[in-house]
Structure 1
Amino acid sequence: MIALLSQTIQTLLAHRLRSFLAILAIVWGIISVLVLVALGEGFYQTNTKSFALLMSDTQIVFPGQTTKEWKGRPVRRLILPSEVEARQMLHHPAIENISVIYGKWDASVTDNQGRSLPGNVTGIDDQFIELRNVKLNKGSRQINRSDLVNHNRVALVGWQLAEIGSLHIGSSLNINGIPFNVIGITKKNEGGISLNDDASQAMIPSTTFTDLWKSKPNMLLISPVEGVSGLLLRKSILSFFANQQHFDPNDKDAMYMPDFGQEAEFFKKLLRGIQLFLGASGAMTLAVGSLGVANIMFLSVTERTREIGVRLAIGATPNNILGQFLIEGGILVVCGTVIGVMFSYGIVMLLNMIGMPEWLGEPMITLDAIKISLGVTAVFALLAAYFPARRASNLLPVIALSARA
């Protein structure tokens, strides 16, 4: 075996140009697969973050209006649970966490010079950032329990509001003429699509909000305990508030709870489909590269016909010939694969250093991508090496020796 391997390497070195072209074809194919899949993975990761709220287990709940009579109570009753009533859901065995949100759309928001800013005011608690999956810029801090207890006049502002008002962490803005210190700014989302509408909002502690406006929550964020499905969670929420607020448990309009499950699954499949398409495009390039290897090996068989005839005449078996050509093809493919993977990592690192558009994300080569590319390469390599090798092993010594040198 060692002698056969040594002889194979000597043969490849004797035909350097042909070996180089075969390796180059494999290198180009591997780079195509890994780099395209890396771009697809970066795109997938970035855009799934944009849909993070949609894909999470957190349920959005909007107080609504009844559409059915219930035990003598008329239809079209507004269902507006108070914060105390809403937080009683924490005692429910299916509920892990809850965030109560207030909103004021006609509040006066101005900068220090009195210029009006196009922002809404939202009252939030210390669970909002986590459940809403809001990302904050470096140096920001969340609204915490101390802010709620002390009714602090602090605000988190959306990135759009911060840009319009030239606000930064440590600056202040006025809400209904009262100054609030900016403690954080939400991170700008350039991932293409976002379901969060916090970009133009000024978010203040909910206790401070209720000091300014006597209102009830206009939205709830509720997360389930592990193992509770979205359907069971929505049934539990509706049943709880139906019992508390006295409305028909089947009246889904009384508490509106959008179900994003199907949409989330669709978007995940769409993003994976894009990644699969990119990978398939790279695989086609790899297939073309493997075809080049096959052509080069067929040419090698043709050029070395007399050599094969001599070896068969002095006692080499067809399996020996088959083995040598398979090893030659395998060495070419292994060399091309190793070099291709190295170049792919280098290209991806270079792309990340240069900086890609934020909607495209950061390309990344995953272990699964390497496994897939190696699997595809192995299949194509076997096909590329086998048929030329079989042709060489099936030659008759007399015919091979009579071939032109």
Structure 2
Amino acid sequence: MSRAVLLVLPTRTYRAAAFLAAARRLDLEVVVASDDASTLGHLHPGRELVIDLAHPEAAGARLAQLPDTERIGAVVAVDEAGVLYAASLAAALGVGGNSPAAAAATRDKAELRRRLAGHRLPQPRWEIWADGAPPPQVAFPVVVKPLDQAASRGVIRADDRRQLEQAGLRIRGLLASDQVCGSLPGAGELLVEEFVAGPEVAVEALLLDGELQPLAVYDKPEPLDGPYFEETIYTVPTGLHPELTSLVWKQLQEAVWALGLETGPVHAEFRLGQGAPRLIDLASRSIGGRCSGVLRFRSGASLEELILLNALGDQLPEVELEEGGSGVMMLPIPAAGRLLQVAGQELALEVPGVDRIEITVPVGGRIAAPPDGDRYLGFMFAHGTDGPAAAAALRQAHARLRVEVEPLN
């Protein structure tokens, strides 16, 4: 069996260290495809591929840069930005992967909605708001979203037509200011979907030959009611009733079949407020940021190790979570500007159950909360007897932090 894996590692990813560490633990050779050449690339020739993530159709031609491509047994996108390119690379190499069309459906929220509608799967009511057109006629409240963004960027709730118009202007202005997004065809199209009140959960799974291997349901104990949707706390294990959990997994299996996904990680979001779960979003990648550290499996394997083993077709170790609860907080950003410091970390770490704090923005770095920002300030991890106990520790520790931001002129 080939023991080399090609990792698609966008320059701005949070996930590089975790995947590279997983590959080392599994004794895998790593070939890196990235949108920027490493300064140390000359030290390991044949193990680095410079790519343009905006042009996945060129993946086959770019492979000519690599010698001995037959040694590569799998291609893995470490995050959302690399999903389309990874699918094209896998197809060109003839190794297991999702078809480019299936991967594309997870990156385009309009196509995702169309596929789900075609299979009559539960989801919010939705409309596409074309650029330059008046807002669609909808029942309020609604949520307005760009078609291809993550981390709650550009996601705004609107409770009436005036707010809908204002949300459209703000989101389109945000996208137009982005050098990449603003240049893409159809960048001004927006998704306007029904706001589904009630709790929200996320799920983590692996796919092999189209069949789901459930890994975790994450509870989100903080309300996500808008007008913006900054994610904060995820906890495991879930407190959902087993019957509702089974229904979530059943709907996710039907959704991946509807999209034509066959392999790799799946991360999805469900709202639970109106009887049956309704799928809010689905991505063919694992949980973002550094949040995978919240999952602690009895086998001792990391989520990234499971993803790599699954991609290579190896047998997975035990995927049951350890006893007890754990949680991660994506540290909220209090204001836009330049980060001066995150004070109080030593005091926060004294809270029982708090494991570690990872600040991911350097001092002087620019930050902005959703819907404008697309970067995390940092992550805090905790454990407890169950998910609610871990969440309580995170809240207590967060109250001891002081994020100082210099406003931009």
Does TM, scored on the shorter chain, surpass 0.5? no
TM-score by length of 1: 0.22
TM-score by length of 2: 0.22
Structure possessing the higher radius of gyration over alpha carbons: 1
